Amino acid sequence: QVQLVESGGGVVQPGRSLRLSCAASGFMFSTYGMHWVRQAPGKGLEWVAVLSYDGTNQNYADSVKGRFTISRDNSKNRVYLEMDSLRPEDTAVYYCAREDYSSGNFAADHWGQGTLVSVSS
């Protein structure tokens, strides 16, 4: 079955960097786009970034553009989120999600359990 497992979260000081990882299994990872979505404590969902199946196309939320970089290693079935110049407002649970277009419409059809990033001095 499809599984997504995030890791790499933790407590980090403002201005520092952190890299999140999402390990995928149970499907042909190299044929799916992947997304990161975050949720600040007690708040709603915020889309963060997407990377195409082959790593050639990416898009970011304005709030993270220029600071965050999404990448993937299809040989390892992993997608990453490199977060630089972290701010307190980046504190959130970060989820990775698989993108599916098999129906002809977009679906974030499988999600990981999330990893918590806390930016604090």
Q: Contact positions toward other proteins, by CB under 8 A?
A: 35, 37, 44-47, 50, 59-62, 95, 103-114
Residue listed under structure tokens 């999330």: 114
Q: What is the Cα–Cα distance from 100 to 85, expressed in whole angstroms? A: 31
Closest approach of other proteins to the CB of residue 72, in Å: 18
d(CA 19, CA 21): 7
Between residues 105 and 121, which has the closer beta carbon with respect to other proteins?
105
Nearest approach, Cβ of residue 75 and other proteins (Å): 26
Residue number, 13 or 107, with CB nearest to other proteins: 107
Nearer to other proteins (CB atom), residue 12 or residue 108: 108
Q: Shortest gap between Cβ of 13 and other proteins (angstroms)?
A: 27
Q: Which helix (H) or strand (E) holds 47?
A: strand 45-51
First to last CA, the chain: 40
Nearer to other proteins, 42 or 121 (CB): 42
Query: What contacts 5, CB < 8 A, 6 or more positions away?
Result: 22, 23, 112, 113
